[in-house]
Amino acid sequence: MITVIANLKGGSGKSTVVFNLAMWLQSKAQPVVAYDLDPQCTLSDVGEVRREEGYTPPLQVYLGEGNLKEQLKYHPGEVLVDVGAANMEGMKAALSVADTVLIPVPPSQPDVWATQKFLKIIEEAIADVKTRPVVSAFVNRADTHRAVRESDETEEALGMLPGIEVLPYRLCQRTIYRRSLSEGLGVFELSARSKASSEFEEFARALYPDYKDGKKRRKSA
Protein backbone atom coordinates (compact mmCIF):
# COMPACT_ATOMS: atom_id res chain seq x y z
CA MET A 1 0.00 0.00 0.00
CA ILE A 2 1.27 3.46 -0.86
CA THR A 3 0.67 6.05 1.86
CA VAL A 4 1.57 9.61 0.97
CA ILE A 5 2.10 11.86 3.98
CA ALA A 6 1.85 15.33 2.59
CA ASN A 7 0.93 18.91 3.27
CA LEU A 8 1.76 22.24 1.70
CA LYS A 9 3.23 23.64 4.88
CA GLY A 10 6.58 22.83 6.38
CA GLY A 11 6.82 21.96 10.06
CA SER A 12 3.47 20.17 10.19
CA GLY A 13 5.13 16.89 11.13
CA LYS A 14 5.31 14.97 7.84
CA SER A 15 8.81 13.61 8.39
CA THR A 16 8.12 12.87 12.07
CA VAL A 17 5.02 10.88 11.17
CA VAL A 18 6.63 9.05 8.25
CA PHE A 19 9.63 8.06 10.34
CA ASN A 20 7.54 6.87 13.28
CA LEU A 21 5.08 5.00 11.07
CA ALA A 22 7.99 3.29 9.34
CA MET A 23 9.46 2.27 12.70
CA TRP A 24 6.07 1.08 13.91
CA LEU A 25 5.41 -1.00 10.78
CA GLN A 26 8.84 -2.57 11.04
CA SER A 27 8.16 -3.42 14.68
CA LYS A 28 5.10 -5.32 13.41
CA ALA A 29 7.32 -7.31 11.03
CA GLN A 30 6.13 -5.44 7.94
CA PRO A 31 8.55 -4.65 5.13
CA VAL A 32 8.67 -0.88 4.62
CA VAL A 33 10.41 1.50 2.30
CA ALA A 34 10.23 5.26 2.58
CA TYR A 35 10.55 7.89 -0.11
CA ASP A 36 11.96 11.24 0.86
CA LEU A 37 10.80 13.65 -1.85
CA ASP A 38 11.52 16.78 0.16
CA PRO A 39 14.72 18.61 -0.86
CA GLN A 40 15.29 19.30 2.85
CA CYS A 41 15.94 15.56 3.15
CA THR A 42 14.95 15.32 6.83
CA LEU A 43 13.86 11.71 6.47
CA SER A 44 17.09 10.71 4.73
CA ASP A 45 19.04 12.42 7.52
CA VAL A 46 17.11 10.53 10.20
CA GLY A 47 17.64 7.27 8.32
CA GLU A 48 21.35 8.09 8.22
CA VAL A 49 21.47 8.80 11.98
CA ARG A 50 19.77 5.47 12.61
CA ARG A 51 22.26 3.66 10.39
CA GLU A 52 25.29 5.40 11.96
CA GLU A 53 24.07 4.56 15.44
CA GLY A 54 23.66 0.94 14.41
CA TYR A 55 19.98 0.73 15.41
CA THR A 56 18.16 -2.14 13.78
CA PRO A 57 16.34 -2.58 11.58
CA PRO A 58 17.61 0.34 9.49
CA LEU A 59 15.19 2.44 7.47
CA GLN A 60 15.44 2.12 3.71
CA VAL A 61 15.01 5.63 2.28
CA TYR A 62 14.83 6.32 -1.44
CA LEU A 63 15.01 9.75 -3.02
CA GLY A 64 12.68 8.89 -5.88
CA GLU A 65 14.87 9.92 -8.75
CA GLY A 66 13.81 8.69 -12.19
CA ASN A 67 10.33 7.37 -12.93
CA LEU A 68 8.75 7.97 -9.54
CA LYS A 69 5.32 6.47 -10.22
CA GLU A 70 6.79 3.20 -11.45
CA GLN A 71 9.18 3.04 -8.52
CA LEU A 72 6.45 3.62 -5.97
CA LYS A 73 4.27 0.91 -7.48
CA TYR A 74 7.12 -1.58 -7.62
CA HIS A 75 7.42 -2.37 -3.89
CA PRO A 76 5.39 -5.29 -2.55
CA GLY A 77 5.29 -4.07 1.10
CA GLU A 78 4.31 -0.79 2.69
CA VAL A 79 5.50 2.38 0.99
CA LEU A 80 5.57 5.69 2.84
CA VAL A 81 6.13 8.94 0.99
CA ASP A 82 7.24 12.18 2.66
CA VAL A 83 6.54 15.16 0.42
CA GLY A 84 5.75 18.86 0.69
CA ALA A 85 5.31 21.97 -1.40
CA ALA A 86 9.01 22.19 -2.21
CA ASN A 87 8.55 19.36 -4.72
CA MET A 88 5.20 19.85 -6.43
CA GLU A 89 6.06 17.58 -9.35
CA GLY A 90 6.97 14.72 -7.01
CA MET A 91 3.93 15.45 -4.90
CA LYS A 92 1.52 15.22 -7.84
CA ALA A 93 3.13 12.00 -9.09
CA ALA A 94 2.93 10.43 -5.63
CA LEU A 95 -0.68 11.54 -5.13
CA SER A 96 -1.69 10.00 -8.43
CA VAL A 97 -0.58 6.51 -7.30
CA ALA A 98 -1.48 6.82 -3.61
CA ASP A 99 -3.82 4.40 -1.85
CA THR A 100 -3.98 6.72 1.15
CA VAL A 101 -3.12 10.37 1.62
CA LEU A 102 -2.45 11.42 5.17
CA ILE A 103 -2.37 15.11 6.05
CA PRO A 104 -0.89 16.20 9.37
CA VAL A 105 -2.39 19.53 10.39
CA PRO A 106 -1.12 21.66 13.29
CA PRO A 107 -3.92 23.29 15.25
CA SER A 108 -4.22 26.72 13.69
CA GLN A 109 -6.43 28.56 11.21
CA PRO A 110 -3.62 29.15 8.68
CA ASP A 111 -2.98 25.41 8.69
CA VAL A 112 -6.67 24.75 7.96
CA TRP A 113 -6.54 27.23 5.07
CA ALA A 114 -3.40 25.57 3.73
CA THR A 115 -5.14 22.18 3.96
CA GLN A 116 -8.09 23.57 1.99
CA LYS A 117 -5.70 24.63 -0.77
CA PHE A 118 -3.93 21.33 -0.62
CA LEU A 119 -7.22 19.46 -1.18
CA LYS A 120 -7.61 21.27 -4.50
CA ILE A 121 -4.14 20.10 -5.52
CA ILE A 122 -5.05 16.55 -4.54
CA GLU A 123 -8.22 16.71 -6.64
CA GLU A 124 -6.25 17.89 -9.68
CA ALA A 125 -3.60 15.22 -9.19
CA ILE A 126 -6.14 12.38 -8.94
CA ALA A 127 -8.61 13.64 -11.54
CA ASP A 128 -7.78 10.78 -13.94
CA VAL A 129 -7.14 7.92 -11.54
CA LYS A 130 -9.36 4.83 -11.55
CA THR A 131 -9.52 4.43 -7.78
CA ARG A 132 -9.53 7.47 -5.54
CA PRO A 133 -7.19 7.33 -2.56
CA VAL A 134 -8.58 7.63 0.94
CA VAL A 135 -7.71 11.16 2.05
CA SER A 136 -7.41 11.67 5.81
CA ALA A 137 -6.36 14.59 7.94
CA PHE A 138 -5.46 14.62 11.61
CA VAL A 139 -4.22 17.12 14.14
CA ASN A 140 -0.53 16.89 14.90
CA ARG A 141 1.19 18.99 17.58
CA ALA A 142 -2.09 19.23 19.50
CA ASP A 143 -1.89 21.08 22.79
CA THR A 144 -1.78 18.77 25.80
CA HIS A 145 -3.90 21.16 27.91
CA ARG A 146 -7.60 20.40 27.58
CA ALA A 147 -8.50 24.05 28.13
CA VAL A 148 -6.84 25.04 24.88
CA ARG A 149 -9.54 24.85 22.22
CA GLU A 150 -7.47 25.14 19.03
CA SER A 151 -7.23 21.41 18.37
CA ASP A 152 -11.01 20.92 18.71
CA GLU A 153 -11.62 23.93 16.48
CA THR A 154 -9.14 22.69 13.91
CA GLU A 155 -10.81 19.26 13.81
CA GLU A 156 -14.21 20.91 13.41
CA ALA A 157 -12.97 23.10 10.57
CA LEU A 158 -11.29 20.15 8.85
CA GLY A 159 -14.54 18.22 9.14
CA MET A 160 -16.26 20.83 7.01
CA LEU A 161 -13.83 20.48 4.13
CA PRO A 162 -15.06 18.31 1.25
CA GLY A 163 -13.43 15.01 0.34
CA ILE A 164 -11.55 14.24 3.54
CA GLU A 165 -12.02 12.07 6.54
CA VAL A 166 -10.85 13.54 9.85
CA LEU A 167 -9.16 10.90 11.95
CA PRO A 168 -10.39 10.79 15.54
CA TYR A 169 -6.78 10.47 16.69
CA ARG A 170 -4.41 13.30 17.54
CA LEU A 171 -0.72 13.43 18.13
CA CYS A 172 0.19 15.96 20.80
CA GLN A 173 3.02 18.42 20.94
CA ARG A 174 5.61 16.41 22.89
CA THR A 175 9.36 16.78 23.18
CA ILE A 176 9.88 13.09 22.56
CA TYR A 177 8.78 13.47 18.91
CA ARG A 178 11.60 15.94 18.43
CA ARG A 179 14.04 13.58 20.09
CA SER A 180 12.78 10.81 17.87
CA LEU A 181 14.02 12.61 14.77
CA SER A 182 17.31 13.74 16.26
CA GLU A 183 18.18 10.32 17.70
CA GLY A 184 16.89 8.13 14.87
CA LEU A 185 14.56 6.13 17.12
CA GLY A 186 10.80 5.71 17.05
CA VAL A 187 8.99 7.17 20.06
CA PHE A 188 8.19 3.67 21.32
CA GLU A 189 11.87 2.75 21.05
CA LEU A 190 12.83 5.85 23.05
CA SER A 191 10.26 5.16 25.75
CA ALA A 192 7.71 2.37 25.37
CA ARG A 193 5.65 3.67 28.30
CA SER A 194 5.46 7.30 27.21
CA LYS A 195 2.21 9.05 26.35
CA ALA A 196 3.58 9.62 22.85
CA SER A 197 4.17 5.92 22.46
CA SER A 198 0.58 5.02 23.42
CA GLU A 199 -1.03 7.76 21.35
CA PHE A 200 1.13 6.81 18.36
CA GLU A 201 0.26 3.12 18.77
CA GLU A 202 -3.46 3.95 18.66
CA PHE A 203 -2.98 6.21 15.67
CA ALA A 204 -0.91 3.65 13.73
CA ARG A 205 -3.31 0.79 14.55
CA ALA A 206 -6.17 2.84 13.19
CA LEU A 207 -4.27 3.38 9.96
CA TYR A 208 -3.06 -0.20 9.63
CA PRO A 209 -5.60 -2.37 11.46
CA ASP A 210 -4.25 -5.58 9.91
CA TYR A 211 -0.87 -5.22 11.58
CA LYS A 212 -1.71 -4.52 15.18
CA ASP A 213 -0.73 -7.94 16.48
CA GLY A 214 2.72 -7.89 14.98
CA LYS A 215 1.91 -10.71 12.61
CA LYS A 216 2.57 -10.73 8.94
CA ARG A 217 -0.43 -9.61 6.97
CA ARG A 218 -2.44 -12.58 5.77
CA LYS A 219 -3.00 -12.85 2.08
CA SER A 220 -6.65 -12.16 1.41
CA ALA A 221 -8.60 -15.35 0.74
Ligand X SMILES: Nc1ncnc2c1ncn2[C@@H]1O[C@H](COP(=O)(O)OP(=O)(O)O)[C@@H](O)[C@H]1O
Provide the minimum distance between the beta carbon of 38 and Mg ion in the complex, in angstroms, as a whole number.
5
Q: Taking CB under 6 A as the criterion, which residues in 29-58 touch ligand X?
A: 42
Q: Cα separation of 177 and 195, whole Å?
A: 11
Query: Is residue 173 close enough to count as binding ligand X by CB under 6 A?
Result: yes
Q: Which of 16, 44, 96, 197 binds ligand X (CB under 6 A)?
A: 16
DSSP string, 32-64: EEEEE--TT-HHHHHHHHHHHHT-SS---EE--
Q: Which residue's CB is nearer to Mg ion, number 59 or number 157? A: 59
CB-CB contact of 101 with 4 (8 Å): yes
**With CB under 6 A, what is the number of residues at the site for ligand X?**
16
Query: Is residue 15 close enough to count as binding Mg ion by CB under 5 A?
Result: yes
Q: Cα separation of 103 and 92, whole Å?
A: 14
- Cis before 57? omega within 30: yes
Query: Is residue 180 close enough to count as binding Mg ion by CB under 5 A?
Result: no
β-bridge partners, 82: 5, 36
Query: Is residue 28 close enough to count as binding ligand X by CB under 6 A?
Result: no
Query: Is residue 195 close enough to count as binding ligand X by CB under 6 A?
Result: no
Q: Taking CB under 6 A as the criterion, which residues in 130-169 touch ligand X?
A: 140-141
Give CA separation, 134 vs 32, 84, 164, 192, 215, in Å.
20, 18, 8, 30, 24
Q: Which residue's CB is nearer to Mg ion, number 23 or number 157? A: 23
Query: Is residue 174 close enough to count as binding ligand X by CB under 6 A?
Result: yes
CB-CB contact of 17 with 5 (8 Å): yes
Q: Which of 4, 8, 15, 138 binds ligand X (CB under 6 A)?
A: 15
- Rg (C-alpha) for the chain, rounded Å, is 16
Q: Which residue's CB is nearer to ligand X, number 132 or number 140? A: 140
Query: Is residue 42 close enough to count as binding Mg ion by CB under 5 A?
Result: yes
Residues near Mg ion (CB under 5 A) are 14-15, 38, 42
Q: Can you give the binding site for ligand X, defined by CB under 6 A?
A: 10-16, 42, 140-141, 171, 173-174, 177-178, 181
